[in-house]
Amino acid sequence: FFVHTEGAFAVSTSNGGATWKNVLTAPAGASLMGARMLSTTEAWVSGGGQDGRSLNGYYYHTTDGGNTWELLKLANAYSMDLSFNGGVGYSAALNNAYSTIAIYN
């Protein structure tokens, strides 16, 4: 997986990068900031956007190689990058102050 922040989409390849396919597009006005593969089929993508004065954090999770995605929304925060260690995910998020989000897989 690769996250393109300008167009707010994620792409994947199954042939070493010879071809790529779009597997996720963020809502209008949002950005995707980080992507982490946990296996050949499981991945998490983080990002966020602003709706008027409100920040919205987005976490997308797939277990089928990007064919389908589950959306987890975080109100009043803008999700940045994320990482995983031993089944627990950690993400930096911006709100009125910096914060760390724990994601239990």
Q: What residue numbers bound the domain in which 75 lies?
A: 2-104
pLDDT tens by residue, 48-75:
887 777 788 889 999 998 999 999 888 8
Q: What is the pLDDT of residue 53?
A: 72
| Closest of 94, 86, 2, 77 to residue 45, by C-alpha | 2
Query: How many distinct structural domains can be found in the chain?
Result: 1
* pTM of the shown model: 0.80
Are 46 and 33 contacting, i.e. CB atoms less than 8 angstroms apart?
yes
Question: Any residues with CB less than 8 A from the CB of 67 and at least 6 apart, and which?
Answer: 23
